[in-house]
Amino acid sequence: MICQKAAVGTRAFGVTSVNEVVGCRGVASRKKGEDMSKLPIKPAGSCRYDEVSLGEIMLRLDPGDLRIRNARSFNVWEGGGEYNVARGLRKCFGLRTGVVTAFPENDIGRLVEDFVMQGGVDTSLIRWVPFDGTGVATRVGLNFTERGFGVRGALGVSDRGHTAASQLKPGDIDWERLFGELGARWLHTGGIFAALSATTPLVVEEAMAAARKHGTVISYDLNYRPSLWKANGGLKGCREVNRRLAQYVDVMIGNEEDFTACLGLEVEGVDENLRALPIDGFKRMIERAVSEFPNFKACATTLRTVKSASVNDWSAICWYDGAFHQAMEMKDLWIYDRVGGGDSFASGLVYGFLTFDDAQKAVNYGCAHGALAMTTPGDTSMANKAEVEKLAAGGSARVVR
């Protein structure tokens, strides 16, 4: 377990500075002479981990075909916006991944750990905290999620107060050991974890500063969740936190709502119901994003038009090295469970960059992996690499015997 005693007190984001947290002067710069337009991907042999995710992992309770309010039994899965990326990279693409999170030391925490182990993600970076006996001080979060069907949209109801991960604070994790000694080629985190408390954005900033110092690529999925920001400053707080963290990011990921809510970047031609997603509008938005945040080396967004809970149009675009790359357009894609589709897009995108350093392949792999993940239940992908490669190359759903 890579943890240490807290170096600073628990203070609201915007009061404690990253200088206090990690002892560095602002956002660290890359190495002299480096091509600032390219991702500085380290060779695999130089690091223990291909990718590490920072975020919370919850138990997802799935009522299947029923409603949460009427169900008498639930299937249980693990899931978390940041963790799902690490799991997809390990289980589908075979990379070496780990997750930084926290659990209470009880059987529920160990249950989630068992799910993580089944997914092949390294658990040695997990911080274990004492259980108080009732969950008043610390607990595992629960996420009740309906899949939706037809005109009834998917529904998520969180029960995640006082979770162990939300109480992580600067100084709890030894980032120097992780990034400086063990080594990680890529760090992924996002706006869900940053929204959990006053201290989690500080932990994200601390991790990003250390990762940047050691040449680790940083990706961030904005993942806007109004319900989480309600208790943490609302839309104003969301924008303040995400715009500050964006200064560290190499690869920014999101959808149309994410970029507008989290960074204040409007997409032209999009109505409030997102009935149409004009690609030119997204390209202009991304151009504004990379102009405002010149540290962005890549910027990707999924394109989802929701015709019903069961049928979506699905695609994605990625800006890299001054050019746009669009994935295949999947019209009338049938959806079994949409939750985790964006996370699986992110893991496919990361795999494409880590393996090929090719933005077109990256966005194609991301789009294909996200589509396949939405054909099975649960937050995490059940696809394998061969299936992703087949779909990314234009393959069909004909039977495989």
Count: domains in the chain: 1
User: Would you call 20 exposed, middle or buried from its count of C-beta atoms within 10 A (0-12, 13-18, 19+)?
Assistant: middle
Q: 253: closest CA among 355, 158, 363, 152?
A: 363
Distance CA 244, CA 36 (A): 20
Query: Which CATH number is 93's domain given?
Result: 3.40.1190.20
**Buried b / exposed e across 49-70, counting CB within 10 Å, b at 16+?**
bbbbbbbbbbbbbbbeeeeeee
The reported pLDDT for the residue numbered 354 is 98
The reported pLDDT for the residue numbered 10 is 38
Q: Pseudo-torsion of CA 25, 26, 31, 35, nearest 10°?
A: -160
The reported pLDDT for the residue numbered 28 is 45
Distance CA 148, CA 234 (A): 27
The reported pLDDT for the residue numbered 25 is 34
How many CB atoms are closer than 10 A to CB 130? 11
The reported pLDDT for the residue numbered 256 is 78
β-sheet with 58-62: strand ranges across? 75-79, 58-62, 142-146, 155-159
The reported pLDDT for the residue numbered 394 is 87
pLDDT, tens only, 125-183 = 999 999 999 999 999 999 999 999 999 999 999 999 999 999 999 999 999 999 999 99
Measuring CA to CA, how many Å separate 276 from each of 8, 72, 196?
Answer: 47, 38, 31
Domain membership flag for residue 283: yes
Q: Which two tokens stand for residue 199?
A: 């201290």
Domain membership flag for residue 395: no
Long-range Cβ contact pairs of 236-241 (< 8 A, separation 24 or more): 238/191, 238/195, 238/262, 239/263, 239/264, 240/13, 240/14, 241/13, 241/191, 241/194, 241/195, 241/201
Domain membership flag for residue 399: no
Domain membership flag for residue 289: yes
Domain membership flag for residue 108: yes
User: What's this model's pTM, rounded to 2 decimal places?
Assistant: 0.91
The reported pLDDT for the residue numbered 397 is 58
For 231, the domain range is: 48-296
Domain membership flag for residue 205: yes
Nearby residues of 360 by Cβ (< 8 Å), 6 or more positions away: 325
Per-residue tens of pLDDT for the chain, all 401 residues: 565 544 433 334 443 444 444 433 345 445 555 566 789 999 999 999 999 999 999 999 999 999 999 999 999 999 999 999 999 999 999 999 999 999 999 999 999 999 999 999 999 999 999 999 999 999 999 999 999 999 999 999 999 999 999 999 999 999 999 999 999 999 999 999 999 999 999 999 999 999 999 999 999 999 999 999 998 899 999 999 999 999 999 999 998 789 999 999 988 877 666 566 788 988 999 999 999 999 999 999 999 999 999 999 999 999 999 999 999 999 999 999 999 999 999 999 999 999 999 999 999 999 999 999 999 999 999 999 999 999 999 876 554 54
Q: Which two tokens stand for residue 356?
A: 């090929």
Q: 57: closest CA among 327, 362, 343?
A: 343
Q: 21: closest CA among 29, 10, 35, 33?
A: 10
Domain membership flag for residue 229: yes
Domain membership flag for residue 284: yes
The reported pLDDT for the residue numbered 241 is 98
